[in-house]
Amino acid sequence: MPFDNEKENESKRETEPEAAPSEAKGVLVLGGGIAGIQAALDLADARVKVHLVERGPSIGGRMSQLDKTFPTMDCSI
Amino acid sequence: MMDVGRHPNVELLTLSELVGLRGEPGDFVATVRRYPRYVDEDACVGCGDCEAVCPMVAPNVYEHGLGARKAVYRPFPQAVPPAYMIDRDVCLNEEAFLACSKCADACPRGAVDFDQRVRDVDVNVGAVIVATGFDEFDPRVMRNYGYGIYENVMTSLEFERLLSASGPTQGRVVRPTDRKPPRRIVFVQCVGARGEGGQHFCSRFCCMNAVKDAMLAKIHDPNVESMTILYTDLRAFGKGFDQFVQRSHEVDEIRYVRGRPAKIVGDGGGDLTVYAEDTLTGEQVKLDADLVVLSVAARPNETARALAETLGVELNRYGFFRKRDPDSFYLETTRDGIYLCGSAGGPQVIPDCVAQASGAAALAAKHVAACRVPDEVVEVEALDTSGDHRVGVFVCHCGANIAGLLDIQNLVEYARGLDGVVYAADELFACSDTSQRAVQDAILEHKLNRLVVAACTPRTHEPVFRKACEAVGLNAYLFEMVNIRDQCSWVHVGAPGAALARARDQISMAVARARRLEPLHMIDVPVERTALVVGGGVAGLQAALEIARQHFKTILVEKTNKLGGRLNKPSLTKLYPSGRDAEKLIREKIEQLEEAGVEILLNTEVARVDGFVGNFDVELADASGKKKGATKKARVGAIVLATGADLYEPKGEYGYGRHPNVITSLDLEQNFAANAGRALVDGKHPENVAFIQCVGSRCEGGNPGCSRYCCPTTIKQAMMLREHGANVTVFYKDIRTISDGAEEMYRAARGNGVLFVKIAEDDKAEVIGDKAAAAVEAYDVLLKSRVRARADLVVLSTGMVPREPDTTILQSIFKIPRGEDKFLMERHPELGPVETTTDGVFIVGCLQAPKDIADSLSQASAAAAKVARLLARDSVKLEPTVAEVNEELCRGCGQCVEICQFNAPELVQLAPDVYVSRINEALCKGCGTCAVWCPTGAVVARHFTDLQIHTMLETVLQGETDK
C-alpha cells in the first residue's frame, strides 16, 4: 500500500522522541498483513504486549484485497 | 483483522515506520516514526460526512487505480482502524494553501486536524518480528507482454479486485476498455519469476491463485467461453492443492497450455492476441483473448533495504530478508532477537505464512516471557433482558455479495413486520467497525434484548458480533446469525426471486428462534500449565524447545531410544540446499532442549489420555515392550502431536524388490551415509543413475497430493552423484522446487548436466531389465519421443503416507478427523494450520501433511505459540453450548453414555439402583446426539433446545400454509 504522506516536510518533525512508555516490555511487529496480524494475535493472546507497526492507513495487507483464498474459497476479510 | 484492532494488548501504529533500533535482544528501544493522518483516530467514528463534501478526487490505490476516492478517505469499508485519513498530496488545503476546510466543517466530532505533525515515538521491546511482505513485480519491463500498453492486459491483483464483490465493479468481471464481460481470458504464469524478467525464484502462490481466479471467473460469469492458463510447471505443492487443481479440470472452459507467451498484441479495439508455443505439442498457438491476466511474481518490498539497515540484518541476493539458516529454519534473521515470517523472507502461500507468523510469535515471546501483562478485566454491566422480547434485526449488504442479488430494503421492511421486532436496519458491511458501533448504539437506544444479523457465515463472523454484544452488556447467546449470503445470494444467483423468498423465511425463523434464546455463560476450567509433546523427530524437538523457552514445563516423549527421527544417519546425510550435516542440527537441538529444561522420556509412548483442554490426564508406557503398565502419569494442559509420516513403500512397482539395483531415495541416502557420500552398488560406483519421481505421490494407493520434499531431495542426490561423474536422468511430472534455494539448485543441476525428462500426468516410466534394471524408458512430452536412459541404478523418489498404526491410534484417542489424503486434519487449511477440532491438541510436521524440515520447524514453532496462548493463564473459557441433563426426567438408562463419541456423559449412582447421567461440560462438544437419542427427553442441547428448533420449524411451516 503506497504511502501517501511519505513526502512529509522535514521541518515539520518534532525532533525529541516522546518518553518511552514504562509499561511491560513487548514485541514490535513490523507489517500489518496476514503474517503480522497472526503474529500479533498469538502474542497478545499469550498476554504479551504488542506494538504493531503498519506503513499504510489500515492493516489487512494484501489478503484483504483478495476476493477469496485457496483452497477453501473462504472470504479473505 | 478486527480482533487485532480491538485487542487490549495490541497497540496499533498505522501510517508508521521503524526508523531506529538500539539495544540488544530482550531489551531493544525502537524508534517509530508516526506520520500524520490529519484525522484524530480516537474521535473519528467513520461516518463519512467528510468524504461526502470533499471536492477532490484521486485514484484509489487499494483498488489498484481501478476505482476513485476523495482526498479524505478510508481505504476500504472494513479498514482497521476505521478512521478516515487525508491525503495531503491531493488535498486543496496543502501547498496551495487554499482555505478549503469543508471536511473539518462537516465533521460532527471535530476530528479533522490539519495541524498534526510527524513525530517519533520510542517503544521498549524485547524482540522484533519482520512481517513486511512483498511487492509485485512490475510487468512493464517485459514490453512484449503489453502491460501498460494495452488496457486489457492486467495483473492478477487487479483481476482479484474485479472479482471482489466489494471491489470497484461490485464483482462484475468486465474488461477496462469497453466495460463488457470478457468471454475469452488468458492467464499467463511466471511473469517475473523463474528466470523471466531477471528474477530466478518461484513465487509459490501464483499457480494456485490463477486456478482459483479461473474457477471464480466461471462462477461470476457462467457465459465465459474459454480460460486458458499458460503455465511452466503446475506447482500445486500444498496440502489439498493437487485436489484443488483436479476440481478445476471439471470446469470445461478451463484449459491448461504449457508455454510462455512470445508476445501479446492488441488490435487497437481492445481485443488481444497471445502468441505462444505449446511446449507439449511443439505447436505455435495463437490465442484470441478479450482479457489477459498476468500472474505477476513477488519481488522484495521496496522498503526492505532501508529497513534491513535500520534493523542491522542482512538481505539475501534477491533483496528478501535473509534467513540465518535456509536449510532448516525460516524464522530467524541474521541478528538475534529479530525474527521473520511470511513473504518478507521470500514469497509464501497463506497457510505457510500463517504457520510462520505463529512460529515467529513463539520465538519472540521467549524474550519477554517474564513480562506478560495481566488480563484486562472490563466490567460491563449486564443489560436487563427481562420483560417483553425486543428483537433488533440488521441486514448486511456485504458490498454486492448479498445486495447484488437480494433487495435489502425489502428484507428490512419484512423484518420490521415480524413479531417481537422493534428495530430493523441495513448495513453496507455489518462486520466493519462503524457498523458494529451502529449495532451497539441500537441495542442501547432501543433497549434490544435479542439481536439478529442476516449476513454471511457464522463460522467466521459469529464471534465478531458476539463480542460486539458483550461489549455493551447484551449476553452473547441472545444473538442469532442468519447466513443469507452463502445460503441465498451465492447459491441462487440465477433465481433472485426465490433467493429473496428464502432469505425472508430464514430471517423469520431466526427472529422466532431469537425470542426463545436464553442467556448462557462461558464455562471456566482450570489449566495445568504443562505441555506434552509426542514424537521426538525434528518437529517435536522444536515444539518442545520453544514451549520450554517460554518458561512452561514441557515433557517430550519419544517411542524409540533416540531423538532426531529421520534426521539421524543413516536416514539423512545432508540438508538441502547447503549440504550441511543433518545430524549436527539434531545435536544442536538436543543441547538446547537440555538447556531449556525439557523432560525427555525415551522408549516411551502414550498409552491413554483422559480429560480435556487444560486438564489432560496422560498415561505413558514403555514402548520397548520390556515393562508392563503405565510408567508415568501426568496431567498436562496442552498436547502437541508430532509423530511424523511414513515413506511410501513401493509394492513391487518399477521392479522394486525384484531388481537389486532398484532402490528408494531413502536407500540411496543410507548408501551415501555408509560410503562417505559416494554411492556404491555391488562394489561399484554406479555410472548411470535414473530417478523416478512421484512414486507413491499424486496417485491412488499412496498420497493423493504432492509430498513436497521429494523434488529438492532428488536434485540434491543427483548433484551428489554428478559430482563423481555419474550420468543422471530424472523422470518427472512437474518439478516443484518451492523451498528456499531449491529453484536455484534445480537450475544448477540442469547446468551440471543432470537430464530431466518430463512425462505426462497419467503416464508412468518403465524399468527395463530381466534380472536387474538396465534402463528406464518413458515418453518425453517435451521431446515428443520415447526416451531411454541407461541405468545401473534406479532410484524411486518415494512420497509420504500417514504413519500407521500411530496415526489411527492418535485419531481415536483425540477424535481428530482425517482428510481425504488420510493425514490428520487441521482446524482450518489457511487460518488454523496447527490447531485441531479438539481444543488443546495441536498437530505439527508430517503428521498433518508431507513437508520438508524448514516447513516442519515453522509449524512446530507455531504450535508453541498456540500452546503459550493456552498456558499463559490459570484457566480457560469454554463454550457453554453443551448438553445438560434434567435429572428428574433421567431414568439412568445409559444410552447417552454409549452413544457419545467424546465420553462426556457418565452414569452416577444416586441411591441403590438409581442412576442419573451427568455431563462433563468440558468434554462435551455440543453435537446434540445424546439430546436426540434420549428416550425421556432429559438431555437438552443448550442453545439448540427442542423448543428453539420447533419454533423455527413452526414459523417456516406456518409461512408455507399462509402462502
DSSP B534-599: E--SHHHHHHHHHHHTTT-EEEEE-SSSSTTGGGSTTT--B-TTT--BHHHHHHHHHHHHHHHT-E
* A7 touches B: beta carbon within 8 Å: yes
**At residue B603, does pLDDT exceed 90?**
yes
User: Which helix (H) or strand (E) element contains residue B160?
Assistant: helix B156-163
Residue range B922-931, pLDDT digits in tens: 889 899 999 9
Query: Which of A8, A25, A48 is closest, CB to CB, to B35?
Result: A8
Residue B460 pLDDT: 82
**At residue B472, does pLDDT exceed 60?**
yes
Read off the pLDDT band of B959 (50, 70, 90).
Answer: confident
Query: Which of A39, A46, A71 is closest, CB to CB, to B341?
Result: A39
Indicate the DSSP class of residue B240: T
Q: Return d(Cα B70, Cα B51) in angstroms, integer.
A: 6
Read off the pLDDT band of A75 (50, 70, 90).
Answer: low
Q: Which residues contact B866 (CB under 8 A, 6 or more apart)?
A: A42, B358, B638, B834, B835, B842
Residue B916 pLDDT: 95
User: Helices (DSSP H) in B346-494: which residue ranges?
Assistant: 350-365, 400-403, 408-416, 433-445, 458-471
Mean of the per-residue pLDDT values of chain B? 92
* Subunit contact B371:A24, Cβ cutoff 8 A: yes
* Subunit contact A71:B126, Cβ cutoff 8 A: no
- B913 or A72: which leads in pLDDT: B913
CB B890 within 8 A of CB B938: yes
User: Rounded to the nearest 5 degrees, what angle is found at the Cα of B633, between the Cα atoms of B628 and B637?
Assistant: 145
Q: Which residue pairs from B887-894 have beta carbons closer than 8 angstroms and sit at least 24 positions apart in sequence?
A: B887/B916, B887/B938, B888/B938, B889/B936, B889/B937, B889/B938, B890/B916, B890/B917, B890/B934, B890/B936, B890/B938, B890/B939, B891/B936, B891/B938, B892/B916, B892/B917, B893/B935
Residue range B378-425, pLDDT digits in tens: 788 899 888 899 999 999 998 888 998 999 999 999 999 999 999 999
**At residue A26, does pLDDT exceed 80?**
yes
* Subunit contact A74:B132, Cβ cutoff 8 A: no
Q: Per the structure block, which three cell numbers stand in for B677?
A: 557420500
Chains A, B: CB pairs < 8 Å: 317
Q: Per the structure block, which three cell numbers stand in for B710?
A: 521429494
Neighbours of B534 (CB within 10 A): 28
What single letter denotes the amino acid at residue B656? Y
Residue A16 pLDDT: 40
Residue B677 pLDDT: 86
Q: Return d(Cα B693, Cα B400) in angstroms, integer.
A: 46
The pLDDT > 90 percentage for chain B reads 74
**At residue A22, does pLDDT exceed 60?**
no
Read off the pLDDT band of B624 (50, 70, 90).
Answer: confident
Residue range B67-116, pLDDT digits in tens: 889 999 998 888 899 899 999 888 887 665 667 889 999 999 999 999 89
CB B2 within 8 A of CB B431: yes
Q: Return d(Cα B597, Cα B620) in angstroms, integer.
A: 19
Q: Which residues pair with B775 in a beta bridge?
A: B768, B790
Neighbours of B289 (CB within 10 A): 25
**At residue A6, does pLDDT exceed 50?**
no
* Subunit contact A56:B130, Cβ cutoff 8 A: no
Q: Which residues contact B361 (CB under 8 A, 6 or more apart)?
A: A27, A38, A39, A40, A42, A43, A46, B129, B862, B865
Q: Distance between alpha carbon B776 and the CA centroid of its chain, in Å?
A: 40
Q: Which residues contact B640 (CB under 8 A, 6 or more apart)?
A: B531, B532, B533, B534, B540, B543, B544, B547, B842, B843, B844, B860, B863, B864, B867
Q: Return d(Cα B493, Cα B472) in angstroms, integer.
A: 37
Residue B963 pLDDT: 57
The listed range with the strongest mean pLDDT (A57-71, B75-89, B837-851) is B837-851
Strand ranges in chain A using DSSP code E only, listed in sequence order: 14-18, 26-30, 50-53, 68-69, 74-75
Q: Return d(Cα B414, Cα B504) in angstroms, integer.
A: 7
Q: Per the structure block, which three cell numbers stand in for B958?
A: 406456518
Cis peptide before B805 (omega within 30 of 0): yes
Q: Which residues contact B392 (CB under 8 A, 6 or more apart)?
A: B421, B422, B423, B424, B439, B442, B443, B446, B448, B450, B451, B452
Measured CA to CA in angstroms, residue B959 lies from B99, B393, B407, B409, B483 at distances of 60, 19, 20, 20, 19
Residues on chain B touching A72 (C-beta within 8 angstroms): 828-830
Map residue B298 onto helix, strand or coil: strand
Residue A8 pLDDT: 42
Q: Return d(Cα B223, Cα B663) in angstroms, integer.
A: 51
User: Which helix (H) or strand (E) element contains residue B747?
Assistant: helix B742-751
* Subunit contact B123:A36, Cβ cutoff 8 A: no
**At residue B31, does pLDDT exceed 50?**
yes
**ipTM of the complex in this document:** 0.91
Q: Which residue has the cell 494442559?
A: B637
The pLDDT > 70 percentage for chain B reads 98
B332, B329, B342: which is closest to B311 by C-alpha? B332
- A76 or A45: which leads in pLDDT: A45
B824, B331, B875, B313: which is closest to B614 by C-alpha? B875
Residue A76 pLDDT: 61
Residue B425 pLDDT: 97
**At residue A3, does pLDDT exceed 70?**
no
* A5 touches B: beta carbon within 8 Å: yes
Residue B933 pLDDT: 93
CB B465 within 8 A of CB B481: yes
Q: Return d(Cα B411, Cα B424) in angstroms, integer.
A: 9
Read off the pLDDT band of B535 (50, 70, 90).
Answer: very high
* Subunit contact A28:B127, Cβ cutoff 8 A: yes
Neighbours of B288 (CB within 10 A): 13
Residue B960 pLDDT: 67
Q: Distance between alpha carbon B535 and the CA centroid of its chain, in Å?
A: 24
CB B203 within 8 A of CB B298: yes
* Subunit contact B160:A65, Cβ cutoff 8 A: yes
What single letter denotes the amino acid at residue B568? N
Residue A71 pLDDT: 64
Residues on chain B touching A11 (C-beta within 8 angstroms): none
Read off the pLDDT band of A15 (50, 70, 90).
Answer: very low
B645, B666, B650: which is closest to B765 by C-alpha? B650
Q: Per the structure block, which three cell numbers stand in for B530?
A: 504443562
Query: Which of A6, A40, A75 is closest, CB to CB, to B456?
Result: A75
Q: Return d(Cα B760, Cα B745) in angstroms, integer.
A: 23
B709, B660, B666: which is closest to B686 by C-alpha? B660
B380, B366, B610: which is closest to B473 by C-alpha? B380
User: Rounded to the nearest 5 degrees, what angle is found at the Cα of B349, between the Cα atoms of B346 and B355?
Assistant: 90
Measured CA to CA in angstroms, residue B269 lies from B178, B181, B266, B509 at distances of 9, 15, 7, 52
* Subunit contact B357:A35, Cβ cutoff 8 A: yes
Residue B140 pLDDT: 92
Residue B322 pLDDT: 95
Residues on chain B touching A33 (C-beta within 8 angstroms): 131, 133, 342
Query: Average pLDDT of B216-241?
Result: 89
Residue range B728-751, pLDDT digits in tens: 999 999 999 988 888 889 999 999
User: Helices (DSSP H) in B418-535: which residue ranges?
Assistant: 433-445, 458-471, 496-516
Query: Average pLDDT of B882-902?
Result: 93
Question: Pairing state of beta strands B530-534 and B638-641?
Answer: parallel
B262, B272, B263, B253: which is closest to B177 by C-alpha? B272
Flag the least confident range among A61-75, B662-676, B742-756.
A61-75
Question: Pairing state of beta strands B272-278 and B261-266?
Answer: antiparallel
Query: Average pLDDT of B837-857?
Result: 93
B753, B609, B627, B775: which is closest to B692 by C-alpha? B775
Q: How far is B340 from chain A (nearest CA, A)?
A: 10
* Subunit contact B342:A46, Cβ cutoff 8 A: no
* A11 touches B: beta carbon within 8 Å: no
